[in-house]
Chains A and B, each alone.
Chain A
C-alpha cells in the first residue's frame, strides 16, 4: 500500500465533516490542505491521497490510497472528497467500491473546483456544517470568482447564472400534465425572488440544468415534462426557507385547467383552428398597430441608455400590472411580468448596451429576439407558444421607450376583429360588447390571448392566414367551434351563418335571465358570480348574475413591489363596481398567506401555510394594510350596493377586532371629509370548521355568511384538493362537510342571515342541487358555470332536492351522497 495518505493527526471534533483531497500531485494536495487549514484551523481532519509511486513523488492517483484516506478520515459526520481532475475522479470512484459500505454511505464526492472548493468546504465544515451543506458550499465555490471576473452577466439564457448547488437542497416532482409551463414557472420565479437566496433548479430526470430560478427563460430551457424530478438548490441567508417554499409550490402544481395543450385537431381544408366556440357575423375591422421603428444608432451614453431602459421596463410593468387587475386570466400577466424582469433578457440587454454600445431600444429588441428564439427552439409545443408572450412583452417595453401607442380598435359598431397574432396585452383590451369575434391570421388554441378570449367568451379562430383575402373584406363570419371562416359572405352564406348563430345563441341564452331561477315547484335560487377582475365582471354581467357573490381582491396586491395605495385601489375597484351598478357586490378583504405570499409583506415562509398566518389572521397582523383596503372599498363603494366579507374567520374575537378596524376606517374617512359608503354590511366566509360549528354565535356579530366550500372541505377532511395521491378524497359531497353546511344554513335561518356558497361546489351542477336541497338559496360561481348550473337546476323540484339532501346527510360516503342526487335526474 503506498504511503501517500497523510491524515492530520489532530483531535477531531466528534461531529465535524472531514475532507479528503485527491490530486495527481502530492505537493499540490498538501499546499491546498495548508490553504484550507488557514480557514479552519487544526480542528478539522483533512487527509490527502495524492501522487503515486513508492513515495508518492510521481504524478498520478491511487484508488487504494484514496480508500485508505477515506477510511482514516471517516467519522460520524462523514467525509467530503475533493478531486483535481481526470483519473482522480475515476480513482475516487474505484475507492468507493473498496471501502466498507457503511463508510461509503457517509462519503460525498464533490464536483467542486479543487482549490476553491477545498477552502470553502473547510470553512463550512469547521463551522459545523453537515455533509450536504459542506458539499453544496464547495460546489458553489466557483461563483465568487465568476462574479469577480464579471462572467455572471455573460450567462446565456439556458445556463444558470450561478454555479451549482448550495446551502440547502430539496427534490420535487412535477405533477402538472403540462410539465413546468410558463405560469407555474412564473410563480417559481416570483416566489424565489422573495428570499434572500439564489436558487437554482435542475431536472434530474432529464439531466438538464441547473438553471436560475430567477429566470423564466432559463427554466424553460430545462425542458421539464410531467413526472420529472427536480432538484432545488439554494445559496444564501434564506436558502433553507427558499428551497422548502419552492418544493412545496412545485408539489402543489397539479394542472391548471387550461394549461395542457389541447390536441391540435387536424385542420380541414379551408378552415382555421377553432379557438373559442360561437358563431358570429358582422363588419370586419383590422387591429391597427403602430409598429415601433427601432433606431439602430449607437449610443455614446451607455449609463443613460440603461436608465432609459429601466424606466421603460417600469412603465411596462405598470401597464401590464393594470391589465392584470382587470382580468380573470391574471396569471398570464404574472408570466409577462416575470418575463419583463427576467435576468436572461434584461441583463442581456444591459450588457449589449455597455459592451456593444447599442441604444436601449435596439439592445432590448435584440435581447427579446434571442429569448424568443430560445423559446421557439423548445420542443414542448406549450412552451413554444410562449414565444408570443416574449415578443409581446418586448413590444410593450419598446412602445414605452419609443413613445408609440398600443394597438387601437377602430371605433364603430360591434365588429369582428381581424388580427395578425393577437397579443395577450391586446386581448386584455377587448371589450366583449364591442368585439363580436376574433379571426387571428396566426396564433393558436394555447396562446395566452386565446385563453383570455375564452375567459370573456369572445368566439375566435386562429391560424386563418391562408383564408384572409388579399383585398380587404368588409364583413366576415366565423364559427369558433368548427374553424369555419367566411369573408364577405353572400346572401346564402349569411342566412346559414345567421341560422347557426341563432342556434348558438339559444344554447347560450338558456343562461339565467336575471340570475333568479325558480324550480318547477316555485322555490327561488339566486345565481351570483365569483369575480377577480374587470373582464370577469363583464362576463358575469353578460351571463346574468344577480350580483357579485365573491369579488377577490388578491389581484390588486400580487406581483407588485409595494402595496397599492388607497387611491389606486379605489380606481381599480370602482371600475369593477361600475359594471355591477345597482347590483349587490360582495368584496372579500385580501385573502393572502403563506400559500399566496405577497413579497412586500415580508411574510415568513411557513412549513404549513394553510394552517398559518393567512386570511383574517394576516389582516389583523397588518392592520394598516387592512384598514387601507377597507377605506378604499368604502370610498369606491359610495353609491354602490357593496358588502364587505372577511376570509378565514374562526373565532368571534377576530370578528370583533375586524369590526374595530372597519370603524377606524370609517372614522378616518369621516374626519378627512371623504364621501364613502356607510353603513356597510359586514359578513364572513365560513371556511374553517370551527366557524361552521359556532355559526350561531358568529351570526350575532355579522350580517351574512358565505360558505367557502373549497377550504372547508380541505380542513374537514384534512386533505388537499387535487392531491395527486388522494384522488377525489377531498370531496365536498362528503356527508361530514354537508352536515356542517346544513348547520350553517340553519344558524343563518334562525338569526335571519343570508347564507350563500361561493366555493367550487356551487359551480358543480351535480353538487349545486344538494346545496339547494340543504337550504342554500344563493350560489356564487365563475361566469362560465352560470348556464350549466341553471340548466341542472331548472327542472328539479325543490322538494325532491330536499329529500335527496336529507339522504345525502346520512350517506356513507361522498359517492353515495352524490348518488342521492343523481337518482333524481
Chain B
C-alpha cells in the first residue's frame, strides 16, 4: 500500500485506465446511445490510449507535467465534449501539482478539486445536471483523511454512488438535455467514465 502517488504509480494508473476504457467502451457507448451520440466509449478509449502513448514516448519529469501531457492529449484526441472537459480536469490538476515528484492524499485532493472546479467552470454544469460532475463532486468530498489507499477506495465508491444517482435525473447539460424528461431513467455515461477513472486509481494504489 503506497503512501503517496508518484510518477510511476500515476503512469500505471493512466495505463490501467486506458485498458479499462478499451474494455468498457462498448458498455459506455451503450449507455450513451439512448441519451447521447453513441460516441463516449469510443472517444474515451481513443483519448486515454493517446494519453498513455504520449506518456510512454516522453516520460514526464514531475506530476504536473504528467497531468498536463494527459490533459493535452485528451483535448486533442477525444473529440466529444468529454475531451476538453477531462482535458481541463487534468490540465488544472497539472497546475496544482507543477514541480511535484509525488502527491500525498491532501495533494491529490487539491488536484482533483481543482480539476472539478475547472470542469464546472468550463461546462457550466452543477450537481444534479446529470453529468460527470455528479460523480466527481462526492468523490472529492470523500477524500477526507485516513490512509491513501482507503481514501481512494472511498472516493471511488462515492463516485459510484453519485453515478448511480444520475439514473433518475433529467439532463440539463450536453446533448442528453435535448431529450428533456426522456433522459430520466438512464445512467449518465460521463459520470460512469468518471467513476471508472477513479476506480482504476483506487485499484492501482491498492
Question: Which residues of A approach B to under 8 Å, CB–CB?
Answer: 1-2, 24, 52-53, 58-65, 86-87, 90-91, 93-94, 97-98
Contacts and interface: CB of A to CB of B under 8 A. Distances in A.
A65 B123 contact: no
A86 B81 contact: yes
Given A94-B87, A94-B88, A63 B76 contact: yes
A2 B73 CA distance: 11
B175 interface: yes
A818 B81 CA distance: 68
B77 A87 contact: no
Given A52-B79, A86-B175, A91-B83, 14 more contacts: A24-B79, A59-B39, A61-B83, A62-B75, A62-B77, A62-B83, A63-B76, A87-B79, A87-B80, A87-B81, A87-B82, A94-B84, A94-B122, A98-B75
Interface residues of B, number: 21
Contacts of A98: 75
A60 B79 contact: yes
A94 B75 contact: yes
A2 B123 contact: no
B81 to A, nearest CB: 4
A87 B87 CA distance: 12
Contact of A90 (B43, B72, B76, B84): B84
B75 A60 contact: no
B174 A86 contact: yes
A1 B76 contact: yes
Interface in B23-70: 39, 43
B78 interface: yes
B93 interface: no
Given A90-B85, A94-B84, A94-B87, A62 B122 contact: no
The 7 closest A-B CB pairs, nearest first, are A60-B79, A87-B81, A52-B79, A64-B76, A63-B75, A94-B84, A90-B84
Interface of B: 39, 43, 72, 75-85, 87-88, 91, 122-123, 174-175
A90 B123 contact: yes
Nearest to A94: B84
Contacts of B75: 62-64, 91, 94, 98
Contacts of A52: 76-79
Contacts of B122: 90, 93-94
Contacts of B43: 60
Given A60-B39, A60-B43, A87 B76 contact: no
Nearest to B78: A60
A50 to B, nearest CB: 11
A552 to B, nearest CB: 52
29 contacts: A2-B76, A52-B78, A53-B79, A58-B79, A59-B39, A59-B79, A60-B39, A60-B43, A60-B80, A61-B79, A63-B75, A63-B84, A63-B87, A64-B72, A64-B75, A65-B76, A86-B80, A86-B81, A87-B82, A87-B84, A90-B81, A90-B85, A90-B122, A91-B83, A93-B122, A94-B87, A94-B88, A94-B122, A97-B91
Contacts of A91: 75, 83-84
B91 to A, nearest CB: 8
A337 to B, nearest CB: 42
A86 B82 CA distance: 10
A1 B91 CA distance: 17
User: Which among B82, B84, B88, B175 has the greatest number of chain A C-beta atoms within 10 A?
Assistant: B84
B126 to A, nearest CB: 15
